[in-house]
Amino acid sequence: MEPIPESAYGAAKTLFEARFYEDAVSRSYYAVLHAAKAALLTRDITAESHAAVRRLFGKELVQPGILEKEYALILAQTQDERALADYDVELTFSKTVARERVEDAGRFLEQVRELLRAAGLGRLLTGDDND
């Protein structure tokens, strides 16, 4: 079974290629959200709500300098845009914006992969027990 962040990221890429830009933005956020939750596990922290993940990610991983501020911004921006993509029936996302969000999710996952590998928790994103 593929880990949730990787599955959501793959769905985001597929939806983008199929020109479902709002759905690609939404799935990009879920890839980032689940990767952020995995990153928090490196500090033995679990968070259930979207707001808690966002707050704790900044407090526990960005403020101490473990991850760069860019990643907190990606989490915040994708969260805000996911809400718009899912609930604002009049809003559409351009191909350019959707591509940026998918690319942001890819960078976010790669950074979290590195963090998890360094903590001996690489299997959380790769599904490989050898990480």
Domain of residue 65 covers 4-125
- Gap between the Cα atoms of 29 and 129, Å rounded: 26
- Indicate whether this model's pTM tops 0.85: yes
Q: In angstroms, what is the C-alpha Rg of the chain?
A: 14
- Summarised one tens digit per residue, pLDDT across range 86-100 is 999 899 999 999 999
Higher pLDDT, 127 or 116: 116
130 within some domain:
no
67: in domain: yes
The reply to whether 35 falls in a domain is yes
Residue 121 falls inside a structural domain:
yes
Give 2-69 as a DSSP string.
--HHHHHHHHHHHHHHTT-HHHHHHHHHHHHHHHHHHHHGGGT----SHHHHHHHHIIIIITTTSS-H
- Is 14 within the bounds of a domain? yes
pLDDT tens-place string over residues 29-54: 999 999 999 999 999 999 989 999 99
The total number of structural domains in the chain stands at: 1
